[in-house]
Structure 1
Amino acid sequence: MIRTAKVEDADVIAELLTQLGYEKTLSFMPNRILELLDNPDAMLFLYESEGKVVALLSLHVIPQIALFGSFLRISYFVVDETVRSREIGAELEALATKIAKERACDRIEVHCHERRKDAHRFYERHGYIESPKYFIKNLYM
């Protein structure tokens, strides 16, 4: 079952994000969830299996100035390592595609760290192509 996240899910969301290498997020997670739920261009979904949350999908619709459509960014996407390869990721990716089409997006974008080779293969199987370079500027270290 796919559902919208709630503030009460802060613990499990923080646990899933730890699997992506984002540790110590629990202290600010409830506020982040509220902020995302209040933003009409942000969506935060959880996947439940057998009564347990096992996946997270965070999406943002970003309007473009130079192109007709907006784009959908997959901000965070993680399936618990104990249940991978069960098509849960495929279901969530299909949801992202459906939302992108409904919101008149012309593409979906995802940043996936170089070390996540299995995730790269997942995205390629679902029609994504690599578009290098990605620059970031850290403001707080």
Structure 2
Amino acid sequence: MSENWCRPATINDAAVLSGLLVQLGYPDTAPFITAKLAAIGTDPAARCWVAGYDERVLGFLSLHILPQIALPGDFARISYFCIDEIARGRGVGKTLLGHAELYARELGCDRMEVHCHQRRVDAHRFYVREGFAESPKYFIKML
């Protein structure tokens, strides 16, 4: 197997990311994903990376840095993280997560969080293997 790679996402990755989002249950992102990637590209508190091996993009991770007023360190929030079903278990996710963790540490973050729906049991196992601890209670209000 070739070595995994990671790079910043560009608007040229929009179709691939839209396809990966279908695997997460978001089938209708094609009309707006280019604009979302452009917005992330200009937001100093947001990043999106793609990763894969050989020439093929097989996953992505978007990250947002959030300042904390009550604690000395900030925290990094993974907003979306998807590895192509055909590439899971090949280290692409570990590559992306390692890149995001390094970036977050460089910006002074002392923790990282991710919201992961209860139905994504395989993803939960990945996060636990990577050192995440479950933190109960997550509330959401649709606006």
TM-score w.r.t. structure 2 length? 0.94
CA distance in 2, matches of 1:7, 1:58: 14
CA positional deviation for 1:94: 1.0
> Sequence identity, in percent?
49
**Where in structure 1 are there 5+ consecutive unaligned residues?**
none
Matched residue type, 2:26:
Y
Aligned residue in 1 for 2:109: 105
Alignment equivalent of 1:76, drawn from 80, 83, 94: 80
Aligned residue in 1 for 2:70: 66
Does residue 131 in structure 1 map to residue 135 in structure 2? yes
CA positional deviation for 1:48: 2.9
TM-score w.r.t. structure 1 length? 0.96
Matched residue type, 1:74:
I
Does residue 53 in structure 1 map to residue 57 in structure 2? yes
Aligned residue in 2 for 1:31: 35
**Structure 1: 4+ residue segments shifted above 3 A:** none
CA positional deviation for 1:106: 1.4
How many equivalent residue pairs? 139
Higher relative contact order (CA 8 A, sep 6+): 2
CA distance in 1, matches of 2:11, 2:113: 26
Aligned residues of 2:52 and 2:92 also touching (Cα < 8 A):
no
Write the deviation string for residues 71-105 of structure 1: whole angstroms up to 9, x where unpaired.
00011111100011011111111112111211111
CA positional deviation for 1:111: 0.3
